[in-house]
Amino acid sequence: MKATIDREGCIGCGLCATTCPAVFEMDDEGLAKVIADPIPDDAFAAAQEARDGCPVSVISIE
Ligand code: F3S
């Protein structure tokens, strides 16, 4: 499974990087980026939580 972020819509709230730091990180522009592809098995639940918690719903997992 792979996580993707529609960075055009990211508002930089940081929730994803806090919830699942194994997969998401904030970059120099203050936007989230994906740092693990595929999603490690032990981070999958947290990645789903990050997707569900993103306030602008720009994270996809497929
Ligand atoms: Fe951006 Fe959503 Fe993460 S707004 S910082 S992708 S929780």
CA of 62 to the centre of ligand 1 (A): 17
Ligand 1 site residues, Cβ closer than 6 angstroms: 5, 10-16, 32, 54-56, 58-59
Bridge-based pairing of strands 24-26 and 32-34 is antiparallel
How many Å lie between the centroid of ligand 1 and the Cα of residue 29?
13
Query: Which residue's alpha carbon is at the smallest distance from atom 7 of ligand 1?
Result: 54
pLDDT at 60: 98
Task: Measure the CA–CA gap between 40 and 58, rounded to whole angstroms.
Answer: 20
pLDDT of residue 18: 98
What mean pLDDT do residues 30-34 have?
Answer: 98
The mean predicted confidence, pLDDT, of the chain is 98
The alpha carbon dihedral of 47, 20, 18, 33 has a sign of negative
pLDDT at position 37 is 97
